[in-house]
Structure 1
Amino acid sequence: MPSPSVPPLSRPTRCPPPTSRTPTTTPTCRNSPGSSPTCGGWPKLADGAPERLTAALAPLVDGYRAWIARREAAVDDPASHLGPYRLDAADALGKARDAADRISAGISRLATDPVARAAFGFANRAMHLQRVHTKAAAGRHNAADRLLDDVLSEVDVPANRSWRPFQLAFILLCLPALADPDHPERSDDRRSAVADLLWFPTGGGKTKVYLGLTAFTLAVCRLAPASGGLDPTAGVAVLMRYTLRLLTIQQFQRATALICACETLRQAGPSRRGATPFRIGLWVGGRVTPNRTDGAEVWLSERRRGTGLRAGGGGSSHQLTS
């Protein structure tokens, strides 16, 4: 019986994969309606009296609320085609209004709480100090003969001493709860407790926000009265965790630059900041750093003799490169 004829296979049609381009988001005060171009300057925020701080920060939340109002109007605009998503839009806008209220509460806290205001000034000074010195160190890496003061004058420009709007807004949003151990956002009540998540595309400046909040927290611990009779200079104030080894080391270096800036300010500042130095530690596996002091001493001895790392594959104590 003859077999049925099978038509020849045709070459598959090549279809290009779907593509989508997401433009880089780099918000500045200039394109944030209602905010001042200098709203986030660290020197200005570090030395502001209550009235000046409020005047500098209020446009940020005012601009955000104006943006929310425009989005609310867009929901009812037939041209936006948001009708099927009205409930989702209302939920998102409600959360945005809550965030605006929390930012406003942070500004009010700075205006009325001397401890929070002093800690905020400390944080801005520390951020300014660590940023320009980190930039200067990088600038002298291949030009060690250049004077530090000359390099500092080049890098101490507004772009290296200011917050982006989303950075400053997130700090203000978190500030009341960090300044008050009894704040409802830090309670055990699930209805009021808050854990804030900051998301922004890579390179947008999330770490800068975390460092600013770290400096504020360290200052509050030193400036506020001891809570429950505990020593405010003892214990751990901030924990930072990263999932990749390389990222852990990079962020450890950035955090250490901040701690050095905080310690410089502590030594030069009033006695209220305490006599105990600000310190930082790196707690990772033994393949990155020695887990014991004697292991670190062995590594250091081998390093001085030029014999390299230990045969057992132990980590290096030398994690700071600049």
Structure 2
Amino acid sequence: MTRPTGPNSAGWPWGTATAPSSPSGTPPASSPTGLPATRCVPSPSVPPLSRPTRCPPPTSRTPTTTPTCRNSPGSSPTCGGWPKLADGAPERLTAALAPLVDGYRAWIARREAAVDDPASHLGPYRLDAADALGKARDAADRISAGISRLATDPVARAAFGFANRAMHLQRVHTKAAAGRHNAADRLLDDVLSEVDVPANRSWRPFQLAFILLCLPALADPDHPERSDDRRSAVADLLWFPTGGGKTKVYLGLTAFTLAVCRLAPASGGLDPTAGVAVLMRYTLRLLTIQQFQRATALICACETLRQAGPSRWGATPFRIGLWVGGRVTPNRTDGAEVWLSERRRGTGLRAGGGGSSHQLTS
């Protein structure tokens, strides 16, 4: 198959061939352009593209991490019950908490032995393993220091008891409120007796360990971990999969911090009962509201304990606030008053689209 040549041949989009001679041998006639007469030669048939098949996106199932409590020798202790830890004497607290750090150190020793096991294939990572094990030992020492602090510091021990009682109150009352949501005719005491079970009033090992790890620095404003020295200052991060119980940990630390502020003497001439003790920050709006509700349940429990013992916990109420945009809550108290007045009149939301003051029941 040949392409004709000439001034008009460059742009032809298909292949051509010179027309064959006539039966009499007469050369083919010329075309009006002066080029030899040609005929189109069809290109080979190309099958149409098949319709693309939609493949489902890849999926995988991540196993749930359940931090259950086990009592196998040298592994992990029985979970700490809040009522038991709330009223423990120094020797009883030490006896209840010591298995936690003992079990952790036993686990570290087993991990260290596994580094030299050929089946673990950790030989090329020996330096990394040594670094991780060293940090684990530091954490174990800090947990042990928290236990020692509870045994020797009456303020820390009282604040720890306050935190466990507050956690117990907020948890069972939150469960009871949920149980009465669709059965408002049920008596509160009846529902409380059903939900006040060990599963709803206990720490998981990692929760209690993290609290003890942070406890010495929270109890002592002059602790090296709170200093400006970067070599000793510490910022602790708790990582655990969703639903594992991280919120309980920082709620427990919050209650402990509030109690320490009420019991500690004035530091630097400042009133420890005044000011903001804890800041919580969330980047998702729905999560902010949900966590605010849980934190408020804790503050209500703390305030209940304060009112029952004002001589010890002070006359100033425990308070909580929510600092978000004006489309979530009113920015000023007079704006909240206007919103509530219109709500009572049944006029609905304000024309400006301002937020609701009722975040705890939204």
Establish whether TM, by shorter chain, passes 0.5. Answer: yes
Q: How big is the shift at 1:34?
A: 3.3
Question: What residue ranges of structure 1 are gaps of 5+ in the alignment?
Answer: none
Deviation at 1:14, TM superposition (A): 9.5
Distance between the aligned counterparts of 2:150 and 2:253, measured in 1? 14
Q: 1:91 to 1:310 in 2, by over 3 A?
A: same
Offset at residue 85 of structure 1 (A): 1.3
1:4, distance to aligned residue in structure 2 (A): 9.1
Is 1:10 equivalent to 2:50 in the alignment?
yes
Evaluate the alpha carbon distance shift between residue 221 and residue 271 of structure 1 in structure 2; reply closer, same or farther with a 3 A threshold: same
Contact kept? 1:290, 1:296, Cα under 8 Å: yes
Q: Which residue number corresponds to residue 255 of structure 2?
A: 215
Residues 39 and 57 in structure 1, CA contact (< 8 A), matched pair in contact too: no
Q: Is the 8 A contact 1:126 1:265 kept in 2?
A: yes
1:90: Cα distance to partner?
Answer: 1.0
Q: Is contact 2:82-2:202 (8 Å) kept?
A: yes
Q: Root-mean-square deviation (CA), in Å?
A: 2.2
Secondary structure of residue in 2 paired with 1:172? helix
- Confirm or deny: 8 A CA contact 2:77 2:205 kept in the other structure: no
| Higher alpha-carbon deviation: 261-270 or 100-109 | 261-270
CA contact (8 A) 1:32 1:63 kept: no
Q: Describe the shift of the 1:270–1:306 C-alpha distance in structure 2 as closer, same or farther (beyond 3 A).
A: closer
Q: 1:46 to 1:301 in 2, by over 3 A?
A: same
Report deviation, 1:321: 1.6
Alpha-carbon contact 1:46-1:125 (below 8 Å) kept: yes
Is the 2:69–2:77 Cα contact (8 Å) retained in structure 1?
A: yes
1:180 deviates by 0.3
**Per-residue Cα deviation, 1:257-308 (whole angstroms, up to 9, x for no partner):** 0000000001112512111000011111000000011100100000000111
Q: What TM-score comes out, normalization by structure 1 length?
A: 0.94
Deviations 1:119-160 (A, max 9, x none): 000000000000000000010011000000000000000000
* Contact preservation (8 Å) 2:330, 2:354: yes
Worse overlay, 260-269 or 32-41: 32-41
Q: Distance in 2 between matches of 1:7 and 1:168?
A: 68
Task: Return closer, same or farther for 1:315/1:182 CA change in 2, 3 Å cut-off.
Answer: same
Q: Give the 3-state SS of the residue equivalent to 2:343 in structure 1.
A: helix
> For the Cα contact (< 8 Å) 1:29–1:35, is it kept in 2?
no
Matched with 2:334 is: 294
* Partner deviation per Cα, 1:187-222 (whole Å, 9 max, x = no partner): 000000000000100011101001000000000000
SS in 2 for 1:227: coil
Q: How many residues align?
A: 322
1:100/1:32 CA distance change after superposition, 3 Å: farther
* 22-31 vs 204-213, greater mean Cα deviation: 22-31
Say yes or no: does 1:242 pair with 2:242: no
After alignment, is 84-93 or 134-143 more displaced? 84-93
Mapped to 2, the partners of 1:58 and 1:271 lie a distance apart of: 32
Q: CA deviation at 1:30?
A: 1.6
Task: Pick closer, same or farther for the CA change 1:73–1:18 going to 2, 3 Å.
Answer: farther
Change (3 A) 1:70 1:11: farther
Measured in 2, the distance between the counterparts of 1:260 and 1:19 equals 43
**Residues in 1 aligned to 2:353 and 2:294: alpha-carbon distance in whole angstroms:** 26
Q: Residues 155 and 263 of structure 2 are in contact (CA less than 8 Å); yes or no, is this contact kept in structure 1?
A: yes
- In structure 2, relative to structure 1, the CA distance for the partners of 1:32 and 1:13 (3 Å cut) is farther
Go from structure 1 to structure 2 and tell me whether the alpha carbon gap of 1:54 and 1:165 turns closer, same or farther (over 3 Å shift): same
Query: Do the aligned partners of 1:211 and 1:258 also contact (CA within 8 Å) in 2?
Result: yes
The 1:254–1:15 alpha-carbon spacing in structure 2 relative to 1, beyond 3 Å, is closer
Offset, 1:230: 1.1
Question: 83-92 or 98-107: which moved more?
Answer: 83-92
Greater Cα offset, 211-220 or 223-232 = 223-232
Distance 2:190 2:50 in 1: 70
User: Is the deviation greater in 20-29 or in 193-202?
Assistant: 20-29
What is the TM-score normalised by the length of structure 2? Answer: 0.84
Q: Is the 8 A contact 1:102 1:173 kept in 2?
A: yes
Deviates more, 1:55-64 or 1:27-36: 27-36
**How far 1:22 sits from its partner (Å)?**
3.1
Compare the two structures and name the one with the higher helix fraction: 1
Greater relative contact order, per chain length (Cα 8 Å cut-off, separation 6+): 1
Deviations 1:22-73 (A, max 9, x none): 3211112226753676441000000000000000000001000101101001
Give the CA deviation at 1:86: 1.2
**Alpha carbons 1:34, 1:60 under 8 Å: kept:** no
Alignment of 1:151-300 (within 5 A): 151-269=191-309, 271-300=311-340
When residues 36 and 51 of structure 1 are mapped into structure 2, their CA distance, relative to the original with a 3 A threshold, is farther
Q: Which runs of 5+ in 2 are unaligned?
A: 1-40
> Structure 1 residue 15: deviation in Å?
8.8
Q: Whole-Å Cα distance in 2 between the matches of residues 27 and 281 of structure 1?
A: 32
